[in-house]
Each structure stands twice: as structure tokens, then as C-alpha cells.
Chain A
Amino acid sequence: GEDVEQSLFLSVREGDSSVINCTYTDSSSTYLYWYKQEPGAGLQLLTYIFSNMDMKQDQRLTVLLNKKDKHLSLRIADTQTGDSAIYFCAEKETGANNLFFGTGTRLTVIP
């Protein structure tokens, strides 16, 4: 079955880069997503990548996909205190419309 794993915690200093990692098991994944959740809020879509791509950049965000190793990462450049939140990796497999989420990585940005 589908399994998406993330490390639970990450702390970085303001201005540094953050790298949040995710591994997944389903080789039929078509799209992989990153969502951000702030306290008391829902999920905000940050970016997504199609499984035939290696990299996608969107302003301060860079997504890297290693399909062979089933590894996905999100790099946030020049991390700010407003980036403190929980970040979820999610996958969608071929033929399905639902998303499978990891347990989330809590990013803490230290001023």
C-alpha cells in the first residue's frame, strides 16, 4: 500500500535554507505535492511536481524529485519566521483522485 514518510521536526535560523525531505513507496505515483499548514488553519498548496520531472522552481521554493529512490525534497531559500509551519508531502497515484499524505514536518525558524 501507499506509505509516505517525513522526518517530524526541522529547525533552521532565519535567512538560512531549509530542506524538508519525503520518501514514498508507490512507484505509480503521478504527482507529488507540498502543502503548508499553519496553526489552526487548513492546508495551503505550495507547489507540485509531475513524476517525469526532476526539478521545479517557484520563487523561494525548489522541489527535487529522485524517482529512482522515491525521494522528494522541498528547499526553502532565505527562510523567514513566517515559514514556521507544518509541511506535508502528498502523492497521487495513477487512476486515483485522492491524496496520500505523510505525517508532516514541523519547521521552526529561529530569529
Chain B
Amino acid sequence: DAGVTQSPTHLIKTRGQQVTLRCSPKSGHDTVSWYQQALGQGPQFIFQYYEEEERQRGNFPDRFSGHQFPNYSSELNVNALLLGDSALYLCASSQRNWYNQPQHFGDGTRLSIL
């Protein structure tokens, strides 16, 4: 039973560029959430997707956008990259229709901005 998988594992970009990160949820899960974890900090919620729509959003600018596909996989897009966007980006999946199914996390994509 595959868990949450994310790609790529590492990525290096320069300021001003755009990046797309990908996530496949755990088998049987239909909801995907994205988190940003800066060095030495806990993860911070970016947004959550369910039924191909953004359902909830944290305190992140519009440069951060996402998409969910019919197979429940998801992408996180970040435009106009800033040095401060350097972080570990974590994807978490869960099953929305079961009361409080916990979120399961992938190993993340480490994004470095030069």
C-alpha cells in the first residue's frame, strides 16, 4: 500500500522563477493538503484540495496556487520565487468522508532558492 509520494525530492531555483511540485495521495485518500516547513520550524498550512477545488487556505500570498486532478493527485505552483520560499514542502493526504481521519505526510520536496 503506497503512502503519500512527492516529486521531485530536491529542487534548486533562482529568484523570480516558477516551480511546480507534485503529490500523489495515499491509496484511498481523496483530500490533499500542502504545508511549508522552513528550517527549524513546524509546518505551516498553505491550502487544502478536495473534489478538485481549493477548500481552505492559510496565510500565503496568491503566488502560491494549486490544482487537484480527478485521480486525487495534486500540484503546488509557486510563482515569482523569493529567497524566503526556500523550505521543505510537505504534502499530506486524508479521507474526507471518514470522521477525523488523520493526515498522512509524504517525505517532502526540499526547495532551495538561489
Interface residues on B, range: 20 to 34
Q: How far is the CB of A15 from chain B (nearest CB, A)?
A: 29
**A35-B105, A48-B102 known; A98+B42 contact, CB < 8 A:** no
* Bound Cα distance from A2 to B104, whole angstroms: 21
Across the interface, do A41 and B33 meet the contact criterion of CB distance under 8 Å? no
- Per-residue CB proximity of A17-56 to B under 8 Å, as 1/0? 0000000000000110101000011111100101000000
* Bound Cα distance from A50 to B101, whole angstroms: 12
Residues of B near A30 (CB, < 8 A) are 100
- Per-residue CB proximity of A81-111 to B under 8 Å, as 1/0? 0000000101010001111111110000000
Interface size on A, residues (CB 8 A): 25
Secondary structure class of chain A's binding surface, majority of residues: strand
* From A42, A98, A104, contact of B48 by CB (8 A): A98
Residues of B near A31 (CB, < 8 A) are 100, 102
**A42-B108, A43-B43 known; A99+B90 contact, CB < 8 A:** no
Across the interface, do A43 and B90 meet the contact criterion of CB distance under 8 Å? yes
* Bound Cα distance from A57 to B94, whole angstroms: 23
* Bound Cα distance from A31 to B104, whole angstroms: 15
Within 8 A of A (CB), among B9-31: 31
- Per-residue CB proximity of B64-102 to A under 8 Å, as 1/0? 000000000000000000000000001010101000101
**Among all A-B residue pairs, the 5 with the closest Cβ atoms:** A101-B42, A98-B45, A43-B105, A42-B107, A42-B105
